[in-house]
Amino acid sequence: MQTEFLASCISILGNDFVITKEADQYPYLIDWRQRYRGKALAVLLPQTTAEVSSLVQLCALHQVACVPQGGNTGLVLGSVPDQSGQAVVISLKRMNRVLAIDVANNTVTVQAGCLLAQVQAAAIEQHRLLPLSLASEGSCTIGGNLSTNAGGTAVLRYGNTRELCLGLEVVTAQGEIWDGLRGLRKDNTGYDLRDLFIGAEGTLGIITAAVLKLFPQPRAQITAFTALENPDAALGLLKHSQYALGPTLTAFELISDFSLQLVLKHFPQLQHPFGRSYPYYALLEMSDHESESHAIALIEQVLEQAMNDGHATDAVCATSISQSRSLWKLREHISEAQAKEGKNIKHDIAIPVSQIPRFIQVTDTELKRAFPGCQIVCFGHMGDGNLHYNVSAPVGCSDTDFILQQTSINRIVHDHAHQLKGSISAEHGLGMLKRDEIKLYKSDLELSMMRAIKVALDPQNLMNPGKVL
């Protein structure tokens, strides 16, 4: 049975693209943070939508589960197979062609296996901007971005990946090809299948291609870094800068002092922007269609007003691209600095923006009471209400002992997010990692509607089983 199935896979893809040796499968089986390693019957590497379709039909016939995989950079174990060894991984990485750019329509059509950075570069060649931007952009693929509805640093202005997608091509659980590759800003002709496949983490079908929105490139991007007394000040600064800058405010990132200290400790070539510490910082980015001088004048005016109003304690504005890059590095290196420091318990919560100060205050207090000495690495996309609120071991406590507390720590953080009508996964998805956790917070009704849709579109439960639901 397995032999027959694998022989059919080889007849579709050729020998080179059906990987059955475990050693060769390794990068497809292990997750990005190297915490989990699954097993697979085979790793399949199709190059065309027709091949994906044939493979999925074969899987449906033989009742073989499929794990669709892009760059395999996810953080919730959504793109690796489980321990059964009975599933196949279908990697889209050979489907990496930019199919078309329609400059006047501001759209790009890409195969799902394109790297995000590759599509960003293709857009820039046409003086266009693909605003999706995340730490893993050199490794993650568009198909993965869509399947997890990736967020990143420009959501404040441009929305999540969902908002950047106009159309999809999908291979369904039955192996049929749905051509929904539309480049339309408006189309009200029935149920929104596109947004159902987006964010479904490959459990309803395999996204094979997409039409993404592009934007005219702004003439200037200016970065500013501000020192803040507390999260309340951050909220005041956000409100003021949104009013003054409108949609030209393209990023607003919060960074706690402890997060910044970690970066400076592990990346000594980076410099503190102020030479002294403040409790919190915010990084602002403004994108301007007029000119660099206009942008600098405007953002300096905003910062001066913020200091007069008591929102910001100090502020610097990058006056060159290299200065701007240096400020962004302080934000971007937080995750890596944490990893160098030791193990930490990660969270990816979202709450209403207005509740951020309250969330930080209440959760900090409770964590420090329950786990004296624990260290909180609080940073994130404040403009979107999304915090990566991570917790590290107290000084002197071993990582191993600390990780045993994971469930209790998750409970405190997630309970507080939930009490403030928040989410326990803002931009990372559920995968295998949060599949059970979500049952504590989502209503039975919502879960049962999700299951009904899963059964409707994948009645054999062969698409990425055990993820999300």
Binders of its own copies among residues 25 to 84 (CB under 8 A) are none
Query: Whole-angstrom Cα distance, residue 121 to residue 442?
Result: 39
Query: Whole-angstrom Cα distance, residue 348 to residue 451?
Result: 24
Q: Which amino acid is at 361?
A: Q
Q: Which of residues 139-158 bind its own copies (CB under 8 A)?
A: 148-149, 151, 155-157
Report the candidate in 8, 50, 12, 48 with the shortest Cα–Cα distance to residue 177: 50
Q: How many residues bind its own copies (CB under 8 A)?
A: 96
Alpha-carbon separation of residue 430 from 80, 215, 335, 377 (angstroms): 13, 30, 20, 22
Query: Whole-angstrom Cα distance, residue 249 to residue 330?
Result: 19
Own/partner long-range contacts of 360-369 (Cβ < 8 Å, ≥24 apart): 360/231, 360/387, 360/389, 361/231, 362/416, 363/389, 363/412, 363/413, 363/416, 366/412, 366/416, 367/391, 367/409, 367/412, 367/413
**Is residue 107 part of the contact set for its own copies (CB under 8 A)?**
yes
Taking the complex as a whole, the smallest distance from the CB of residue 350 to its own copies amounts, in Å, to: 5
Interface with its own copies (CB under 8 A), residue from 125, 190, 372, 407: 190
Interface with its own copies (CB under 8 A), residue from 35, 37, 239, 340: 239
Interface with its own copies (CB under 8 A), residue from 19, 29, 198, 413: 198
Interface with its own copies (CB under 8 A), residue from 331, 347, 381, 388: 381
200 in Cβ contact with 326 (< 8 Å): no
**Is residue 352 part of the contact set for its own copies (CB under 8 A)?**
yes
Interface with its own copies (CB under 8 A), residue from 10, 98, 99, 193: 193
**Is residue 304 part of the contact set for its own copies (CB under 8 A)?**
no
Q: Based on CB atoms, which residue is closest to its own copies, 88 or 214? A: 214
**Is residue 287 part of the contact set for its own copies (CB under 8 A)?**
yes
Q: Which amino acid is at 294?
A: H
**Is residue 159 part of the contact set for its own copies (CB under 8 A)?**
yes
Report the candidate in 152, 214, 162, 164 with the shortest Cα–Cα distance to residue 193: 162
Taking the complex as a whole, the smallest distance from the CB of residue 176 to its own copies amounts, in Å, to: 5
**Is residue 125 part of the contact set for its own copies (CB under 8 A)?**
no
**Is residue 424 part of the contact set for its own copies (CB under 8 A)?**
yes
Q: Based on CB atoms, which residue is closest to its own copies, 39 or 162? A: 162
Q: For 191, how many CA atoms within 13 A lie in the half-sphere containing its CB? A: 4
Report the candidate in 66, 69, 80 with the shortest Cα–Cα distance to residue 31: 80
Interface with its own copies (CB under 8 A), residue from 56, 200, 296, 377: 200
Q: Based on CB atoms, which residue is closest to its own copies, 29 or 228? A: 228
Q: Based on CB atoms, which residue is closest to its own copies, 59 or 424? A: 424
